[in-house]
Structure 1
Amino acid sequence: MIPPPNAPVLAPPPDPLTPARDITHAHFRAGDQVVVLKGVAGGELWGDAMRVVAPSWHTPTDEDGWRLRDATGGAQTYLTAHPRYLVHLSRRCPDCLIYLRAMEDRLLPKYAAHNALIDCGWYATTALGQLVHVADARGGR
């Protein structure tokens, strides 16, 4: 869709925090409720809430990942994600809280004047059902 003339075009900010996040596979466990932060809505961070199901190899990063289930269903109920993409919802752990605060500090001021849902476009899902951050994407996949 082409925006109407004189409409502000919001370019998503780069995300230097997630690719540099040092979270191991062991930080999460099956049954944890998590969120993948994707942008801002109404002055708050928003993302996709999911439940960690089982260990899984994350092909795009060649590292241990997690199989996640989206309880709301949709076109793709299960996907695989790298641990650095995830933030705990089911418990308040210091590592996730530090990351969450850093994302808030970076994103919320940029979109303070906007009430719309802003998807920063950092993630895509591959044909193999794997969630991939733009910084982890490989050419041709």
Structure 2
Amino acid sequence: MPPPNTGIPVLSPTPDPVTPDRDITHRHFQPREEVLVLKGIARGRLWGRSMRVVTPSWHTPTDKDGWRLRDPNGGRQTYITAHPGYLAHATGHCPDCLIYLHAMEEHSLPEGPHGADPVDCGWYTTTALGQLVHVADTRGGQ
């Protein structure tokens, strides 16, 4: 399923090598925490979608425990289910998430677009069942 038309340019999906190998367990996140799903690059920095962790939910594409997330801004899909490896704490106080964000910066920023406008790097898609899936994730029941 293609990303919704948000007016943000979308690059051809180029899987990042960091997220698929990330080993973060379901227990790393808790209900009510604010998390970030990285989407792309803007002004030479990573940008993403801020979400709120709601409740545990089975992530069908990876056949793993995932989280039901809520987009506080609403939109076409206010609720989605995501694998924990796709998420980073938004607060900046979590060492594991900071390492992940730094690795994503090292990989993505030198090769990415350098303009001021946000660019969606196409790392994720959302299935018809509201499941967020990384484009390199071929495990399980996708």
TM-score bracket, shorter-length normalisation: 0.7 to 0.9
Is 1:65 equivalent to 2:49 in the alignment?
A: no
- Any conservation in 2 of the 1:32–1:90 contact (CA below 8 Å)? no
**Separation in 1, partners of 2:58, 2:34:** 19
- 1:25: which partner in 2? 26
Larger radius of gyration: 1
- Any conservation in 2 of the 1:123–1:134 contact (CA below 8 Å)? yes
Is 1:125 equivalent to 2:137 in the alignment?
A: no
Query: How many residues get paired?
Result: 132
Q: Which runs of 5+ in 2 are unaligned?
A: 1-10
- 1:89: which partner in 2? 90
SS at structure 1 position matched to 2:110: helix
- 2:54: which partner in 1? 53
Once the two structures are TM-superposed, the CA of residue 112 in structure 1 deviates from its matched residue by: 6.1
**Separation in 2, partners of 1:36, 1:139:** 21
**TM-score, normalised with respect to structure 2:** 0.85
Residue by residue, what CA displacement relative to the aligned partner does 1:46-89 show, whole Å, maximum 9, x if unpaired? 11100000000000000000000000000110010000000001
What do you get for the CA RMSD once the two structures are aligned?
A: 2.0
Give the fraction of aligned pairs with identical amino acids, expressed as a percent: 67
**Separation in 1, partners of 2:132, 2:83:** 8
**Separation in 2, partners of 1:25, 1:138:** 17
With a CA cutoff of 8 Å and minimum separation of 6, indicate the structure with the bigger relative contact order: 2
Amino acid aligned to 1:82? H
Q: Which runs of 5+ in 1 are unaligned?
A: 1-9
**Separation in 1, partners of 2:107, 2:92:** 23
Residue by residue, what CA displacement relative to the aligned partner does 1:77-108 show, whole Å, maximum 9, x if unpaired? 00100000000013511100000011111111
**Separation in 2, partners of 1:140, 1:61:** 6
Amino acid aligned to 2:133? V
Once the two structures are TM-superposed, the CA of residue 11 in structure 1 deviates from its matched residue by: 5.1
Tell me: CA distance 1:26–1:62, structure 2 relative to 1, closer, same or farther (3 Å).
Answer: same
Moved more, 91-100 or 70-79: 91-100
**TM-score, normalised with respect to structure 1:** 0.86
**Separation in 1, partners of 2:141, 2:14:** 24
